[in-house]
Amino acid sequence: MSDKINRQIVLASRPNGEPSDENFRLVESSCPPVADGQVLLRTIYLSLDPYMRGRMSAAKSYANPVEVGAVMEGATVSEVVASNNKQFSPGDKVISYTGWQEFGLSDGSGLRKLPADLVDIKAALGVLGMPGMTAYMGLLKIGQPKAGETVVVSAASGAVGAVVGQIAKLRGCRVVGIAGVKEKCDYVVNELGFDACISHKEQDMAAQLQKACPKGIDVYFENVGGAVTEAVWPLLNPFARIPVCGLIAHYNAVELPAGPNRVPAVMRDVLTKRLTLRGFIVSDFMSEQAEFVAEMGDWLKQGKIKAKVDLVDGLENAPRAFQGLLRGENFGKLIVKVGPESAN
Amino acid sequence: MSDKINRQIVLASRPNGEPSDENFRLVESSCPPVADGQVLLRTIYLSLDPYMRGRMSAAKSYANPVEVGAVMEGATVSEVVASNNKQFSPGDKVISYTGWQEFGLSDGSGLRKLPADLVDIKAALGVLGMPGMTAYMGLLKIGQPKAGETVVVSAASGAVGAVVGQIAKLRGCRVVGIAGVKEKCDYVVNELGFDACISHKEQDMAAQLQKACPKGIDVYFENVGGAVTEAVWPLLNPFARIPVCGLIAHYNAVELPAGPNRVPAVMRDVLTKRLTLRGFIVSDFMSEQAEFVAEMGDWLKQGKIKAKVDLVDGLENAPRAFQGLLRGENFGKLIVKVGPESAN
């Protein structure tokens, strides 16, 4: 395979604020040789997710940043094209973390074979993958919604938010989404069965949200931060649970507010309303993954969960797609198609 | 009893900022008649607690404010002096919520008889009462400290903080207190067995705290807010638990910071460190009270928990004592002795 060309997107420089084209660079190299124990993977689908913005910054979050010059990280659905590892054979399709490149090497650790009966392998990056599990764990383990309660989810039409709202409906909750453009709102209401959806582009978002939540908010699934959170905050009921999953409105922020007063005002609300604020990362719940896979699998088979995919064709379009993602321009789970589902 | 004089402290006006003498008024009235089903209670001990500052303000918190002109609320150890209620006999000693007055009426609801073998009945307002239970529940149910972890508690020598630190030591934690004057720090280290204690009056509090917590902070028991919280915040470890019990530094604040940026900066930390922020009120845990009473009772008998009382003599001194409490001038559980332990 070493005569093949491998195209990769590397981090050219760290963004200051919103990432731009200059922060990425497409490079070509020859496919690396496959050492003993390794497999060579051909990327089929690369998942793009908001968390990647964090990896572009130098600051250590829960994961290390991508080094400048290194391949951008990301989950993929890949096919084994060469194997020096007994556990994998050419033709196997796997979830891998080989990132933004056409070919990648793996020693097999962290690779997960896709179930043979999976009709749509893209689902392994969406509703059956990390975003779906994020929604499931965050809502059920932290949010703990009860029938009759009001659940609000921001980025409602996104990969995580759409699943959150649907599970909450299955649990008998009133579900109110917050999204951008009208068509996203229409989608989550008309197709996913949300009870209401507010556009955060409306001047009177806060008033609309209040009207849509006449009994207040019991669970706020946080994907956004910023003005959306500010609109939600006063409506939180005592004992409200807030799974803090993402803060996409801040990922491009150059600097966060600081100073002696930034913590206490929040603390006061946490106290008087006995809020539970608890951030989480899906990997915190790895030990409960089997439960998720089983239940979500059933829901999908029964058509109780829908998943929308925003498919972008071609690795070279990934940077632009990702920038759009941070501006909310995608619609559904954003996935880049890097190559065909079957090798020629 | 109606020929007896009842002295009461009523809320004269609502404070703007720090409460002053003018906000309280001592009034005299005759003892009320005891209706059918009622008991007349003579106050022995009145507990003064930071939460009362909240009741003086018009804003509804988790409890309703005290009305202007009404008797200030508070827990007491009282003696039944007249009873038209079969469940209580004259001479019974009870915990009641008759507030800042010498005599009070009760229909028996919410009264709790003190155990006959309780040697020091003041303990019913402190380590065996609301502050002790607050410490126990907040630390064990929310903080969930594990042996070897670092627990930091602010207002470390206070009614709650002192119990928190001691329980954490019993659980095998490294315990660091934050308190005001040096003698409080010395007390919690030398007498209560804390590993260290930092004075928040020191300019370099943050640096000292960092030095005292070389492995970061796993549980921060929040009693204070403000600059203390700011010093703690950067030291919080991933998965740190923060039982938010009180924010005494803010209780006198005329206005809290507002605006679109007050929430997100905190949220970011909650996310990346997967912090659990959950406010609580001790009454949330009423169903688990028996467990607390049993275990704390054992610890007291075994001398494993010490409790310091700051006793103020005379109801008329309650307002000043309370103002001092908000400035941190008390030392130990602040209790006002309103009358003798045995009636003449």
Q: Taking CB atoms and an 8 Å limit, are A277 and B268 in contact across chains?
A: no
Q: What is the CATH number of domain B130-301?
A: 3.40.50.720
pLDDT over 60 at B234, yes or no: yes
Looking at residue B341, what is its pLDDT?
78
CA distance to A141, A170, A180, per residue, from A293 (Å): 15, 17, 30
User: How close does chain B come to A139, measured CA to CA in Å?
Assistant: 15
Residue A195 DSSP one-character state:
S
Question: What is the Cβ-side half-sphere exposure of residue A211, based on CA atoms within 13 angstroms?
Answer: 8
* Strand bridging mode A39-47 / A103-106: antiparallel
Looking at residue A335, what is its pLDDT?
86
CA dihedral A83, A88, A93, A96 (to 10 degrees): -80
Q: Taking CB atoms and an 8 Å limit, are A280 and B265 in contact across chains?
A: no
Best of A223, A248, A263, A275 to substitute, by most chain B Cβ atoms within 10 angstroms, is: A263
3-state secondary structure A310-343: EEEECHHHHHHHHHHHHCCCCCCEEEEECCCCCC
Q: Taking CB atoms and an 8 Å limit, are A274 and B226 in contact across chains?
A: no
Residue B328 DSSP one-character state:
T
A-chain residues within 8 Å CB-CB of B274? Answer: 62, 278-281, 284
A-chain residues within 8 Å CB-CB of B258? Answer: 265
Chain A residue nearest residue B227, CA to CA: A260
Touching check for B284 and chain A: CB below 8 Å? yes
- pLDDT tens for chain A, 344 residues long, are 446 889 999 999 999 988 989 999 999 999 889 999 999 999 999 998 888 898 999 876 667 899 999 999 999 999 999 999 999 999 999 999 999 999 999 999 989 999 887 878 888 888 888 888 889 989 988 899 999 999 999 999 988 999 999 999 999 999 999 998 999 999 999 999 999 999 999 999 999 999 999 999 999 998 888 888 889 988 988 888 988 888 887 777 665 555 544 565 676 677 766 778 787 777 787 788 788 878 887 887 888 777 778 889 888 888 888 888 887 788 777 888 888 877 65
What number is the average pLDDT over the span B147-167? 94
Q: Taking CB atoms and an 8 Å limit, are A267 and B277 in contact across chains?
A: yes
Q: Which CATH number fits domain A5-126+307-337: 3.30.1780.10, 1.10.760.10, 3.40.50.2300, 3.90.180.10?
A: 3.90.180.10
Complex ipTM: 0.82
pLDDT over 50 at B102, yes or no: yes
Q: Which two tokens stand for residue B334?
A: 């602040």
| Contact predicate B41/B24, CB 8 Å | no
Touching check for B282 and chain A: CB below 8 Å? no
Within 10 A of B287 (CB to CB), how many other CB atoms are there? 7
The domain defined by A131-301 folds into: Rossmann fold (3.40.50)
Q: CA B57, CA B66: separation in Å to the nearest integer?
A: 8
Q: Which of A294-298, B41-45, B89-93, B199-203 has the lowest mean pLDDT?
A: A294-298
Instruction: Delimit the CATH 3.40.50.720 region(s) of chain B.
Output: 130-301
Looking at residue B260, what is its pLDDT?
46
A-chain residues within 8 Å CB-CB of B265? Answer: 256-258, 262-263
Chain A residue nearest residue B259, CA to CA: A230
Touching check for A286 and chain B: CB below 8 Å? no
Instruction: Delimit the CATH 3.90.180.10 region(s) of chain A.
Output: 5-126+307-337
Give Dmax (Cα) for chain A.
65
Q: Where are the alpha helices (DSSP H) in chain B?
A: 51-56, 130-137, 161-170, 182-186, 205-212, 226-232, 264-272, 289-301, 318-326
Amino acid at A270: V
Touching check for A64 and chain B: CB below 8 Å? no
Looking at residue B264, what is its pLDDT?
58
Q: Taking CB atoms and an 8 Å limit, are A279 and B281 in contact across chains?
A: no
Average pLDDT, chain B: 87
Give Dmax (Cα) for chain B.
65
pTM of the predicted model, to two decimals?
0.84
Residue A78, sorted as left (phi over 0), alpha (psi -120 to 50) or beta, turns out to be beta
Residue B163 DSSP one-character state:
H
Touching check for B302 and chain A: CB below 8 Å? no
Looking at residue B90, what is its pLDDT?
95
